[in-house]
Structure 1
Amino acid sequence: MHIGILEDDQDQRDYLMLCLQTQGHELAGFERANQLLRALREQSFDMLIIDWQLPDACGMELTRSLRSEHGWQGLILFITASQGEGDVVHALENGADDFLSKPINPKELTARVAALGRRLANSTASNALNEVEGIPGQYRIEQEEHTIWCAGLQVNLTQREYQLAVLLMRHIGELFSRAYLLEMIWGINGDISTRTVDTHISRLRRKLGFDGSHGLKLRSVYQHGYRLEFCSDGESARKSA
């Protein structure tokens, strides 16, 4: 992958690049946020690694801006000296795909980057299709626009909600554990509460009508996770009545 590393401390930046060079990644280091933003206009990156404390910007605010103002869709690994759960959740809510706390463990760094790389590969394979085949006609997925339509209307989804919905709709009938969904959609291994998954599942049921009213039902499987299933014609009719 082509990875941009924004870290103002040269020793830390060199350390990160040394750890990742052995994995065969193409790397570019930046000291200031304005240098990274300029590079983004000229180069294509698969992933950005962003430190929280920067001399000319706040890494948290930069991450939010990249998502909401610049429309950057690539992966972001956020680095912070804080280990507070509130700060971690705040970073994820502002658009980070994963986080690492300092001091950086080289094995954990390479493992997290590899996990995010698998997500990128899965996303690329998914985007090769214009539609997800086999879903009921009430639904339409527009991969290029990252949108989902239900009953002729475009549904307002966050990036995470969209990713979660597409994963479930591409694997109808397959049971997913909360831990698996956390890793695939958020890129983490149980570092934040699995209630995050439950909250997003609840929103998808409401927003996309995954209660059976449009032919799909998102079921909870006790102590296991979630499964999106086809509904019988009778069940869909009852929900629509």
Structure 2
Amino acid sequence: MHIAILEDETTLAEEVKLYLERDGHSATIFVDGEALLRALPRETFDLFILDWNVPKINGYEVLVRMRKNLRMIEPIVFLTSTDAEDEIVAALSAGADDYCIKPIRLREFSARISSAQRRVQMTNAPAFGREKEILGYRFNPITNLVRFDDQDVTLTEKEFALASFLFSELDRPLSRNRLLIEVWGSTGPELSRTLDVHIAWIRKKLHIGASGSRARLVAVYGYGYRLMQTFPEE
């Protein structure tokens, strides 16, 4: 992929660029939002990495213009500081596909980029229609059975639909409304509590809670949920 990096911290930008190139991608660095927007009519990018706090036009405004004004659909990964929950929610609500918290853990960052790339490649692929394995979890849509760690767990129909969708969108923050539409086909306060109950059950049944060794299903404050692949400490 050809990737645009909007980051004015030179050391970090070069580190990210080098790491992407090691993974087989090409990358161009932009130090302010205005420069990136000027480049869009003449250069094609497959993915964008945007930092919020950059000169002239900040990353959030660049995101809004790309999604609303330019109607761009390429994946966008936001970089944000550890205490910027409001920024995360705003970016996701404006159309960002994912976010990565500074300081960047490079292995995790690489996985986020790979996940975004997979989603692009699978845009037109059918949803779970046959048995499929993700992170060692094998999903059988005929029996609503999930096999992992030499055990079989049978889920209810809605639990299976929710777990299947979360695993198919691994590492992607998903809004509450998106989850409700995908699984229940509707939204509303009464279904919001139902979603939380189902989240609690699949965390327990599939071992994807706070101590999950392969993945953890975490809340994204003020937005929804995200199934995150876990990594050993770097």
**Into which bin does the TM-score normalised by the smaller protein fall?**
0.5 to 0.7
Q: Partner of 1:188 in structure 2?
A: 171
Q: Partner of 2:91 in structure 1?
A: 91
Task: Write out per-residue CA displacement over residues 101-153 of structure 1, whole angstroms, 9 at most, x where no aligned residue.
Answer: 11011111101000111001111x44xxxxxxxxxxxxxxxxxxxxxxxxxxx
Give the Cα separation in 2 of the matches to 1:62 and 1:182: 28
Give the Cα separation in 2 of the matches to 1:45 and 1:203: 35
The alignment status of 1:33 with 2:33, answered yes or no, reads yes
Q: Which runs of 5+ in 1 are unaligned?
A: 127-166, 207-221, 226-241
1:121-160 matches, cutoff 5 A: 121-123=121-123, 125-126=124-125
* 1:75 Cα offset (Å): 0.5
Give the Cα separation in 2 of the matches to 1:182 and 1:56: 37
Give the Cα separation in 2 of the matches to 1:59 and 1:182: 27
* 1:38 Cα offset (Å): 1.8
The alignment status of 1:75 with 2:75, answered yes or no, reads yes
Provide the aligned length of Structure 1 versus Structure 2: 166
The alignment status of 1:20 with 2:20, answered yes or no, reads yes
Structure 1 moving runs of 4+ over 4 Å? 170-177, 182-185, 222-225
* 1:204 Cα offset (Å): 4.2
Percent sequence identity over aligned pairs? 30
The alignment status of 1:4 with 2:4, answered yes or no, reads yes
Q: Partner of 1:110 in structure 2?
A: 110
Q: Partner of 1:162 in structure 2?
A: none
Amino acid at match of 1:60: Y
The alignment status of 1:198 with 2:182, answered yes or no, reads no
**RMSD, aligned CA:** 3.1
Give the Cα separation in 1 of the matches to 2:20 and 2:164: 25
Question: Match of 1:89, SS?
Answer: helix
Question: Match of 1:60, SS?
Answer: helix
Task: Describe the shift of the 1:197–1:178 C-alpha distance in structure 2 as closer, same or farther (beyond 3 A).
Answer: farther
Question: Match of 2:15, SS?
Answer: helix
* 1:87 Cα offset (Å): 2.8
- Are 1:83 and 1:101, in contact at CA under 8 Å, matched by a contact in 2? no
Amino acid at match of 2:179: D
* 1:10 Cα offset (Å): 1.2
Q: Which has the larger radius of gyration?
A: 1
Give the Cα separation in 1 of the matches to 2:30 and 2:183: 40
Give the Cα separation in 1 of the matches to 2:55 and 2:166: 32
Q: Which runs of 5+ in 2 are unaligned?
A: 131-139, 145-159, 188-197, 204-234
Amino acid at match of 1:58: N
Task: Write out per-residue CA displacement over residues 39-90 of structure 1, whole angstroms, 9 at most, x where no aligned residue.
Answer: 2111111100000001112211221221011111101000011434333222
Give the Cα separation in 2 of the matches to 1:183 and 1:36: 33
Q: Partner of 1:141 in structure 2?
A: none
- Are 2:77 and 2:99, in contact at CA under 8 Å, matched by a contact in 1? yes
* 1:11 Cα offset (Å): 1.1
